[in-house]
Structure 1
């Protein structure tokens, strides 16, 4: 018990240092060489006529903050999904939540142009609900459809279907270039106003997740145990999924679809800190923030001076991890 407390405490204390370090690297280095002195002045003595100051203020700083926040949001969303479903493959990218958000955003761009950033975030959350409802709805009516591998297959099929429909709609109405940024990620084009709006929505999701942590821990032990302890499992799942919707919808609206963060990070966190979601959720947040910020920096230097999409970097880690989980656990729910 002593070590199980010390490990989460050590992660929560040390992670901010590493997150700040990787954020500083992200701000200091890029395609254009900008001196540390110029970076300092752009923050504390901003000159609107200085192009380098504009790059730091409007591009590099919002980008660094966005990947940190999105990494935290997706990691917590994945942790919550794995806890309430007892499915080791549950994550926003595999269960149709990301695809639902991107799908609704595409429809909004085509049929309701001129939406505010606030409205875009709300519609993205609605899309998250629709994506999750479709996947778990089909999973519940198909024999053994809620088993990890089958649910992942259903999520992949529905996600592909939603993406295909969205692509067809975007091509027909000639908005493919606009829509593509939500499917290929747009970390290099983060809207500062959207970023500021995303913070309260995302933190609301994290607060709900942390408040539900004890109930999620009990639920992860199994349905019978949870009911035996007097837990209202349906209400708990609805509240927990509200957190997932807030976190995923905000993340997709801000930077587009990013896969595998919500799959990989909760498993790594659980291996380090144990099965208590009071530790898993906050530790997933800081580890997810560091992980995606690191992936963003790596994506810039794989083929410098050209950028590699950040989704390629997360996939290089996530796909082998996904196959490892299937090989290790087979088709069984997490015990």
Structure 2
């Protein structure tokens, strides 16, 4: 009697490994940030050689070069780095929690709330200094985000689609109110335009120290969201079945976005496209694991804002373009290229 040996089943193809970030990639980004920072200290309406920059950086001597580096360029470079990190990470958190690749931190109404509060500060309370703008901006950003969060939440917690719709509605309302106020008073319009253009110039380290606690709090909340965001991408039901509390972690993530975006907007005014574009670049180089997407987004965001600030100083010498204008000019084409190149969004 002949027996037939069962033919072994064909091995199933293993799913392709997800591309992951690496410590080496983070080190490269940090080195690029150091180079960009030194370039930011050297380049401007008055160029300073790199050797002189390094010399006066560690040995301030009261010379013109030393004054320019320490009093003007260090504060704006530090602010550009902090704002870029904050907006990049806020964008990654926003896209992760809404599961929407076109989500932007501004969808929470943070920027519109900050702008409206600054206008009220100027028009009602006569505030005309950057320090005052920062506090009004933080308050407005927090109240607007809280309103969006309350409107866009259901019994099961904040719903991604409801948050976007609520944010759009609240932003439209606040923008309309802002326009109504500034059209009534030309002095308010002139003061508001100076803040609303989005710039890191003219800010001192005092502004940075004021918003730093909020940025640090946002970074801590973002660090708590890294691993849980990977599970939330599977859906709330799956995440809950794996032992996660979706509502709690969504609240943490939304608070992180609010803190980071509110602090960045308070410091430098609204700067667009950073939170929208940077997470896509981070996923392109670091993969979809949010434990890597978040730090990559922060470093790439800092690099992008510092680079935009440098470009703004050289394209219209002896004047300069503000970061918000430069980002509007380069952010749109970059995002269109990324969408078409990597097929991130399909309609």
Q: Return the TM-score normalized by structure 2.
A: 0.80
> Hey, what does 1:104 align to over in structure 2?
117
Q: Does the C-alpha gap of structure 1 residues 119 and 169 become closer, same or farther in structure 2, counting only changes over 3 Å? A: same
Q: Distance in 1 between matches of 2:324 and 2:30?
A: 24
> Hey, what does 1:257 align to over in structure 2?
270
Cα deviation, residue 67, structure 1: 0.8
Tell whether 2:239 aligns with 1:226: yes
Task: Tell me how large the CA RMSD over aligned residues is.
Answer: 3.3
> Hey, what does 1:43 align to over in structure 2?
57
In the TM superposition, what whole-angstrom CA distance separates every residue of 1:160-187 from its partner, at most 9, and x where no partner exists?
5433432442454523232223210121
Instruction: Decide which moves more: 215-224 or 132-141.
Output: 132-141
Name which one, 1 or 2, has greater alpha-carbon Rg: 2
Matches of residues 155-174 of structure 1 in structure 2 within 5 Å? 158-159=170-171, 161-170=173-182, 172-173=184-185, 174=187
> Hey, what does 1:296 align to over in structure 2?
309
Tell whether 2:345 aligns with 1:329: yes
Tell whether 2:23 aligns with 1:9: yes
Instruction: Decide which moves more: 215-224 or 51-60.
Output: 51-60
Q: Does the C-alpha gap of structure 1 residues 21 and 96 become closer, same or farther in structure 2, counting only changes over 3 Å? A: same
> Hey, what does 2:12 align to over in structure 1?
none
Among candidates 76, 89, 99, match of residue 102 of structure 2? 89
In structure 1, runs of 5+ residues without a counterpart are none
Q: Distance in 1 between matches of 2:212 and 2:40?
A: 20
In the TM superposition, what whole-angstrom CA distance separates every residue of 1:173-230 from its partner, at most 9, and x where no partner exists?
5232322232101211122111123333212211110112122221122122112223
Q: Distance in 1 between matches of 2:148 and 2:74?
A: 36
Cα deviation, residue 260, structure 1: 0.8
> Hey, what does 1:27 align to over in structure 2?
41
Q: Return the TM-score normalized by structure 1.
A: 0.83
Among candidates 267, 277, 291, match of residue 278 of structure 1? 291
> Hey, what does 2:3 align to over in structure 1?
none
Q: Does the C-alpha gap of structure 1 residues 267 and 33 become closer, same or farther in structure 2, counting only changes over 3 Å? A: closer
> Does the 8 Å contact 1:81/1:90 carry over to 2?
yes
Q: Which has the higher helix share?
A: 1
In structure 2, runs of 5+ residues without a counterpart are 1-15
Matches of residues 314-325 of structure 1 in structure 2 within 5 Å? 314-320=327-333, 325=339
> Does the 8 Å contact 1:93/1:260 carry over to 2?
no
Cα deviation, residue 26, structure 1: 1.0
Number of residues of Structure 1 aligned to a counterpart in Structure 2: 324
